[in-house]
Structure 1
Amino acid sequence: PEAFTEADIRFLQTVTQQATTALEGLRLFEQTQIRARRLQATNEVTRTASSILNIDILLPLVVQQISDAFGYYHVQIFLLDEAGEWAVLKASTGEVGQELLRRGHKLAVGSQSVIGQVTARGEPVIAHDTDTDPVHRRNELLPDTRAEMALPLRTGDRVIGALDVQSVQPNAFDPEAQAILRSLADQIAVTLENVQLFQEIQERVAELTTINLVAQSVSRADTLEELYDVVTAQLMRTFGARHGYLGLIDRSNIIHLPIFIEGGERIESPEPFPLGEGLTSHVLQSKKVLLINENAMEKAEQMGAKLVGAVPKSLLIVPLMLGNEAIGVISIQDMEKENAFTEAHIRQLSTLAAYIAVKIRNAELLEEAQRRADELGFLFNVTRAAVSSTELDEALSNVVEIVQDEIGGVESAIIYLANIEASVLEPYAAVGYGREVIARQEPVPWGKGLVGTVAARGEPLIIHDTIQHEEAASAEGRTRSAVLVPLQAGGQFSGVLAIESTRPNAFGERELRLLEAASGTLNAVIQNARLLEEVTRANEQLRELDQLKSQFLANMSHELRTPLNSIIGFSRVMLKGIDGPLNDLQTQDLTTIHQSGQHLLGLINNILDMSKIEAGKMEIQPEYVNLEDIVDTVIATGRGLVKDKPIQIFKEVEPGLPMVYGDPVRLRQILLNLVSNAAKFTHEGSITVRVERKDYDPLTGEPPRVQVDVSDTGIGIAKEDMDKLFEAFRQVDGSTTRQVGGTGLGLAISREFVEMHGGRMWVESEPGVGSTFSFTIPLHPPEDTDAEVYASPAYDDGRPIVLAVDDEPGVLDLYRRYLEKEGYAFVALKNANDLLHHVRRVRPSAILLDLNLPGRDGWQAIDDLRTAEDTDDIPIVICSIEDQRQRAEEVGAAGYLTKPIIEDDLLGVLRDVLAEYPTGQTDEQEEPERQTILIVSGQPEYRRVLQEALSNELDCTIQIALTGYESLQILQDGLPSVMLLDADLPDMDGYGLLLALRSQEEFQTLPVILLTKRALSSEELAALGNTCTRYLVKAPRGDGQPISALLDLLAELSA
């Protein structure tokens, strides 16, 4: 007992304390080393993540570094698939990890597993003891796992995967380890996002490079066959396709496969097949990309489509689109692997499809252009031959020679001309054995034989073998094939052109097309030649009449002037008393004789001047003239005219008056006529001649000029008589005429002379007060200016549009400034030559129209607008120097303004006009929209029949286009309700116009009724497809049945 002393106890206590301290130090040292290793591992993972941009290399390194640093049993990383339904193993440590990767190990998101839960929740999940924690799913390859922790890999709010670590010790994950691993998971997630972005960029760059190479390869192909070779190579090289095809659909809905790849080789294409129920047809009809990466048969059946032949594991079909039209498809297939194609494949194949579609259309356009060039070249040569001579027989002889030279295989070519009065066709020019027909000069009866039949029907005819054609027979019986075309255009028929060969099947559609292209030109040449003959005959007759008139006027001049000069001369001698003294009565009688002779001589001179003016033979000899000198001589003469009246004549001439450019003789005649008239109609008071310079006038557009006013205090002129003043042989008051004499030609001649100088004449008068006659003469010769059209910017933005027609730029500019500031859109024309077209294009709310215009004057323009049904409701305001309000009211003008135009007057008239002629429906009671029918036909008689029938039977607006080009201009301004399209147009083929319209999206829904000369065959109907809504055969003359059918069809379409 009591073996240990107090000292022993104290020693043992000291040893124990020191041992405890040492052990605690060792534990802390070991923890520090573990922490250091973990932080070092974190740094190494960070460096690895920042230096490697390939996920397949990065992730195995990261899991291995974590395993080494922490000493864990197993470390792995999962990433979610594109659908976010599965967590797929991407990296795993050890041999177990390699086996799991080989097996394609994956766990469902949300499944009963640590990975399933962490990817579903987005929060860390820990199984501290796998024996007791149900969240852990055991893996037979990892039997020693006692603890498992998974941390989510997040980018923003999105979970992209999970980091999973497992230990052989329960409760292995202390808070510090959890914190470090959470930081590592965050770092890995950021790195994965950066790597993914980098890889996407790299893939896009590679994709764009591939696309560029594809584009270069496709662009180098010049023919369709070269294009097919390029596409085949691209499918196999770029996409690695061992199976694929290119399909094209024609206008008959038949699908052709010009490229068919099987087993990595291009093989012979299968037979074409109709659009049906297969996947190719499905894509053509849906116009959408089709991607099937698994269960191809099942998915095809779900779409209601059928798979023909071997069933691929994966397939991709992309439509070839041109606008809204699918012209074919391109497809790649994988017969062995599912999920073979990705979004990148879709993008690349879609790009290739776009290039192919454009290239195919370009090749078709090139073929069409070459065909058109062939036609134009032939047409050019025929036209050049046709106009090579003014003699018709020589010109047509040149034409048939060109036809024989340009079209191969022609052994005979004959042109027959129509003799309408005799109802026969006469051979006129020929080449080859057709000359024998010319030699016999046997006319062909209308409607008999091939030539007569073509003439009667007005339709071309192609005969491949005369033996199989009942009516075919040549003069010598040797013709085996022939093409005959009527020479007609615009409803005018002039003959038939026929080519023949002794060989069957010598001619086809090309030859027919060429002859049809030339028929219009030949018809025009023949019609022009005949018209020229008629004009020549008419000119000869007119020349004879003109010579007779000139001879008559010369005879009258000589026969009348000779005795008149004698009367005037001898009476003057007698008045001077040379023959002896005279008493007062004799003097009075001789004075009357002398004055009457002078008056009669003046009348004769006026009549001769007017006849020259009417014949267009009056010419002026302008030069720079001092107008004041002419005024002085005229005033001196005028004072002699009023010497017996209480009248004074005054002269007011602006100092420094410039020279004017005019004919001094005619200027004196103009001024003398005005002063003489003033002297005649003024009984007392004064006559004033006022001359002043005028600068450029922006109101009227007149150039710098001199204005001459002759004012009197005479009887004046009533307002209703003003329009008669300048009419030939008219005076305003018969009683005045009897008092003062005259023919009424003086003012008419004077105004003609003023306008020949480029000036204008007008009058202002008040009855009982007096009159002022004014005229202007330019300072310089007029300059020629080209007509042009211009408009306000964005004139069609909804503002009321005012269209102005005036040949003076200054006036148009004034209108523009007046109107645009008041909110009107402004469109200006300098002439009315093409007014109808511009009005249809612009659809103005009102038109401002000058009457004196170059080319077509204002009255003709009004007639054009009022005749056309689609423009007859547009209000017209006449703006003119002349006052012709009565005639303006008669033609239906909505307003009248006399130049110079005052701003307030213009705006007031427009306000009144637009209020009276509203351009739209009121909100209170909106009328039903009228049907608009566009008739496109170059045949006047048929067009008139249609227009009358539709106007009588339907409440509709009718638009007229004479040519295909004109119809396109009208369609650009808006779609009609229905388009009636004549298949035979003067400038283009109606079928071609229809196909061109349907190729543009905005015209694809336009109802079109095609009007043909005959019933179409099933092949022709198939070629048309859905391009026309219906077609009708045009009525023979006098047959109203097709018109009734048309009305029924229009009623059906509008219902």
Structure 2
Amino acid sequence: MARLVQGLPQNHVFTTEDIEIGKAIADQLAIWLDNHLLLTEAQYRSERLQTAAEVSRAASSILDVNELIETSVNLIRDQFDFYYVGLFLVDEAREWAILRAGTGEAGRIQLENNHKLKIGGGSMIGWCVQNRHARIALDVGQEAVRFQNPHLPDTHSEMALPLVSRDEVIGALTVQSIERGAFSAEDITQLQTMADHLANAIQNARLFESVIQAQLEAEELLQETQALQLFSQMLAGTLQVNEILNIFFRACIDVLGFEYGVFSLVDKYQNRIKAIAGFGVSDSQIKRANRSLDSQDIMADIIRTGKTEILTDWDERFDRDMFEAEGHAQWVRVFTSVTLRQENIGLVETGFNQDTHKRIDESQIRLLRAFIDQTALALDNAQRYEASQKAAHRETLIKEITTKVRASTNVDTILQTTVKELGDALGSKRAYVHLISPTNGEKK
């Protein structure tokens, strides 16, 4: 409603014509004001719809989840001129709504503090996630269910909108204003529609990321499988211990990118763990890698526990003098046991300089373990083959000597043949036979 007032001298009297003209002007002004108001409202709605469409388009074009939600909250705040916008996602256990993006300094602080709200708890976000409905507080001072956020002291109106995709609530959007009664029914409808588009975009981005991750894992698994197949083929081509170890070291360098390595085996008779070979280290370092299995050294500890440990700094189980003298502080090191038939028979220490790589990832450890397991079997086969060859050679030698001895009937000839053949077999320059008299025990 509007009123048209015309000021005139006190003694002036309005004629009927004056009144009619005034009414006509007032009617026209009212029509103009109504049209202007309708136009303003239409422009406002159009701007809001355009903004909502812009946010939806931006959300649909981004396939990185973190970038998507960060871009969306900032667009909503800037385009709608809100005080604060935050986006929460539900955790896997569906117990908490965790803040994943928030605008301004308040958002930054809350993200650093890992801000989260209990689903169904005393907050508008928790309530809307549990009930799958928007919750609006046009005056937050009158809202019974609300988390009073100390980082957002100027909030007077708040809206919590559920993010629903494929009939599942995946999170919620909080929109806050410094004005009381800031949200109209039309605002709520538009923002909820936008939130629905955003939820679908988030799920699509998640699906895209999961597909990409699955492809990467499949490619990684294929590469690992191919590497293991080649490694197995190379091991199958030899029964020599040195060649087996060289194949293992080559794989550590070429496939895994390690810059040094030491292979150690348990000596049960001496109760020690000893290095037998290595790469990227000196012979003296290999010789010094010799520890009692009863010691507190890391080599003995790994044999006891069978664990795989990645170390980037000093450890109490290290030798302090060796650690400092050889510059071990610069190395990323992995220690893992060599296991055969559920028994820890040895140890592999390997790694690289921190200037080259900062960390050892799971795929490297997984493939290293596979290489070690195959190497352990290959070494066991090589040792068994060597033992069988020695046994066969021994049996052949005994048979040959026995045949030659039996070919003689003269005692002196038998003794001379025995001494000669045993000396030759054992590589001895001198050999003796002592006969003891059965009557007096004297040697002859």
For normalisation by structure 1, the TM-score amounts to: 0.30
Query: Does residue 368 of the first structure (1) align with residue 384 of the second (2)?
Result: yes
Give the distance between the partners of 1:80 and 1:247, measured in 2 at CA. Answer: 49
Taking a change above 3 Å as real, the CA distance of residues 381 and 328 of structure 1, as seen in their structure-2 partners, is closer
Give the distance between the partners of 2:388 and 2:221, measured in 1 at CA. Answer: 34
Give the distance between the partners of 2:197 and 2:270, measured in 1 at CA. Answer: 59
Query: Does residue 68 of the first structure (1) align with residue 78 of the second (2)?
Result: yes
2:58 alignment partner in structure 1? 48
2:327 alignment partner in structure 1? none
Alpha-carbon offset, residue 165 of structure 1: 1.5
Give the distance between the partners of 1:235 and 1:210, measured in 2 at CA. Answer: 13
Give the distance between the partners of 2:363 and 2:184, measured in 1 at CA. Answer: 50
Q: Does the Cα contact within 8 Å between 1:81 and 1:87 map onto a contact in 2? A: yes
Give the distance between the partners of 1:22 and 1:199, measured in 2 at CA. Answer: 55
Taking a change above 3 Å as real, the CA distance of residues 290 and 381 of structure 1, as seen in their structure-2 partners, is closer
Alpha-carbon offset, residue 106 of structure 1: 0.8
Question: Structure 1 counterpart of 2:31, which letter?
Answer: T
Alpha-carbon displacement from aligned partner over 1:876-899 (angstroms, at most 9, x marks no partner): xxxxxxxxxxxxxxxxxxxxxxxx
| DSSP 3-state at the match of 2:152 | coil
Taking a change above 3 Å as real, the CA distance of residues 71 and 361 of structure 1, as seen in their structure-2 partners, is same
- 61-70 or 6-15, larger mean C-alpha shift: 6-15
Query: Does residue 183 of the first structure (1) align with residue 199 of the second (2)?
Result: no
- The match for 1:408 among 427, 433, 441 is 427
Aligned ranges for residues 844-863 of structure 1 at < 5 Å? none
Alpha-carbon offset, residue 31 of structure 1: 3.1
1:15 alignment partner in structure 2? 25
Q: Does the Cα contact within 8 Å between 1:283 and 1:318 map onto a contact in 2? A: no
Q: Determine which structure has the larger helix proportion and give its number.
A: 2
2:365 alignment partner in structure 1? 349
| DSSP 3-state at the match of 1:135 | coil
Q: Does the Cα contact within 8 Å between 2:272 and 2:290 map onto a contact in 1? A: no
Q: Does the Cα contact within 8 Å between 1:320 and 1:354 map onto a contact in 2? A: no
Question: Structure 1 counterpart of 2:291, which letter?
Answer: E
Question: Structure 1 counterpart of 2:115, which letter?
Answer: K
Q: Does the Cα contact within 8 Å between 1:136 and 1:148 map onto a contact in 2? A: no
| DSSP 3-state at the match of 2:122 | coil
| DSSP 3-state at the match of 1:271 | strand
Give the distance between the partners of 2:34 and 2:350, measured in 1 at CA. Answer: 71
Query: Does residue 129 of the first structure (1) align with residue 139 of the second (2)?
Result: yes
Question: Structure 2 counterpart of 1:106, which letter?
Answer: H
Q: Does the Cα contact within 8 Å between 2:88 and 2:98 map onto a contact in 1? A: yes
1:271 alignment partner in structure 2? 291
Question: Structure 2 counterpart of 1:107, which letter?
Answer: K
Give the distance between the partners of 1:351 and 1:402, measured in 2 at CA. Answer: 51
Q: Does the Cα contact within 8 Å between 2:267 and 2:274 map onto a contact in 1? A: no
Query: Does residue 359 of the first structure (1) align with residue 375 of the second (2)?
Result: yes
| DSSP 3-state at the match of 1:39 | helix
2:202 alignment partner in structure 1? 192
Give the distance between the partners of 1:257 and 1:177, measured in 2 at CA. Answer: 75
1:24 alignment partner in structure 2? 34
- The match for 2:44 among 20, 34, 38 is 34
Aligned ranges for residues 572-587 of structure 1 at < 5 Å? none
Aligned ranges for residues 677-826 of structure 1 at < 5 Å? none
Query: Does residue 144 of the first structure (1) align with residue 163 of the second (2)?
Result: no
Alpha-carbon offset, residue 247 of structure 1: 9.2
Q: Does the Cα contact within 8 Å between 1:224 and 1:360 map onto a contact in 2? A: no
Alpha-carbon displacement from aligned partner over 1:122-167 (angstroms, at most 9, x marks no partner): 4433222122224333444433322122223345565443222112
Aligned ranges for residues 494-505 of structure 1 at < 5 Å? none
Alpha-carbon displacement from aligned partner over 1:31-50 (angstroms, at most 9, x marks no partner): 33333333333433343334
Question: Structure 1 counterpart of 2:42, which letter?
Answer: T
Identity fraction in percent = 27
- The match for 2:176 among 145, 161, 166 is 166
Q: How many residues align?
A: 381
Give the distance between the partners of 1:195 and 1:377, measured in 2 at CA. Answer: 68
Taking a change above 3 Å as real, the CA distance of residues 381 and 270 of structure 1, as seen in their structure-2 partners, is closer
Question: Structure 1 counterpart of 2:385, which letter?
Answer: A
Question: Structure 1 counterpart of 2:55, which letter?
Answer: V
Alpha-carbon offset, residue 235 of structure 1: 8.1
Give the distance between the partners of 2:97 and 2:23, measured in 1 at CA. Answer: 59
Give the distance between the partners of 2:295 and 2:45, measured in 1 at CA. Answer: 73
Q: Does the Cα contact within 8 Å between 1:214 and 1:352 map onto a contact in 2? A: no
Q: Does the Cα contact within 8 Å between 1:153 and 1:185 map onto a contact in 2? A: yes
- The match for 2:116 among 92, 107, 118 is 107
- Structure 2 regions of 5+ residues with no counterpart? 1-10, 236-242, 277-284, 319-333, 352-357
Give the distance between the partners of 1:77 and 1:162, measured in 2 at CA. Answer: 6
Identify the structure with bigger relative contact order (alpha carbons < 8 Å, sequence gap 6+): 2
Alpha-carbon displacement from aligned partner over 1:1002-1041 (angstroms, at most 9, x marks no partner): xxxxxxxxxxxxxxxxxxxxxxxxxxxxxxxxxxxxxxxx
For normalisation by structure 2, the TM-score amounts to: 0.64
Give the distance between the partners of 1:393 and 1:137, measured in 2 at CA. Answer: 108
Taking a change above 3 Å as real, the CA distance of residues 402 and 84 of structure 1, as seen in their structure-2 partners, is farther
Alpha-carbon offset, residue 181 of structure 1: 2.5
1:646 alignment partner in structure 2? none
2:68 alignment partner in structure 1? 58
Alpha-carbon displacement from aligned partner over 1:76-100 (angstroms, at most 9, x marks no partner): 2233455555544332333543454
Give the distance between the partners of 2:180 and 2:272, measured in 1 at CA. Answer: 69
Q: Does the Cα contact within 8 Å between 1:146 and 1:169 map onto a contact in 2? A: yes
Q: Does the Cα contact within 8 Å between 2:302 and 2:336 map onto a contact in 1? A: no
Give the distance between the partners of 2:189 and 2:335, measured in 1 at CA. Answer: 51
Aligned ranges for residues 377-396 of structure 1 at < 5 Å? 377-380=393-396, 383=399, 385=400, 392-393=407-408
Alpha-carbon offset, residue 175 of structure 1: 3.0
| DSSP 3-state at the match of 2:140 | coil
Give the distance between the partners of 1:31 and 1:360, measured in 2 at CA. Answer: 79
| DSSP 3-state at the match of 2:180 | coil
Give the distance between the partners of 2:134 and 2:67, measured in 1 at CA. Answer: 26
| DSSP 3-state at the match of 1:131 | helix
Aligned ranges for residues 199-278 of structure 1 at < 5 Å? 199-207=209-217, 216=227, 219=231, 222-224=243-245, 227=248, 256=273, 271-274=291-294
2:99 alignment partner in structure 1? 89
Q: Does the Cα contact within 8 Å between 2:157 and 2:181 map onto a contact in 1? A: yes
Question: Structure 2 counterpart of 1:40, which letter?
Answer: Q
Question: Structure 1 counterpart of 2:368, which letter?
Answer: L
1:3 alignment partner in structure 2? 13
Give the distance between the partners of 2:421 and 2:47, measured in 1 at CA. Answer: 100
Taking a change above 3 Å as real, the CA distance of residues 27 and 214 of structure 1, as seen in their structure-2 partners, is same
Q: Does the Cα contact within 8 Å between 1:245 and 1:257 map onto a contact in 2? A: no
Q: CA RMSD in A?
A: 5.3
Give the distance between the partners of 1:69 and 1:126, measured in 2 at CA. Answer: 20
Q: Does the Cα contact within 8 Å between 1:257 and 1:269 map onto a contact in 2? A: yes
Alpha-carbon displacement from aligned partner over 1:453-498 (angstroms, at most 9, x marks no partner): xxxxxxxxxxxxxxxxxxxx9x68xxxxxxxxxxxxxxxxxxxxxx
Give the distance between the partners of 1:224 and 1:78, measured in 2 at CA. Answer: 53
| DSSP 3-state at the match of 2:99 | strand
| DSSP 3-state at the match of 1:136 | coil
Give the distance between the partners of 2:216 and 2:437, measured in 1 at CA. Answer: 75
Taking a change above 3 Å as real, the CA distance of residues 13 and 210 of structure 1, as seen in their structure-2 partners, is same
Taking a change above 3 Å as real, the CA distance of residues 8 and 248 of structure 1, as seen in their structure-2 partners, is farther
Q: Does the Cα contact within 8 Å between 1:107 and 1:116 map onto a contact in 2? A: no
Taking a change above 3 Å as real, the CA distance of residues 280 and 186 of structure 1, as seen in their structure-2 partners, is farther
Give the distance between the partners of 1:198 and 1:253, measured in 2 at CA. Answer: 58
Q: Does the Cα contact within 8 Å between 1:317 and 1:332 map onto a contact in 2? A: yes
Aligned ranges for residues 543-692 of structure 1 at < 5 Å? none
Taking a change above 3 Å as real, the CA distance of residues 253 and 27 of structure 1, as seen in their structure-2 partners, is farther
Give the distance between the partners of 1:141 and 1:169, measured in 2 at CA. Answer: 17
Q: Does the Cα contact within 8 Å between 1:55 and 1:195 map onto a contact in 2? A: yes
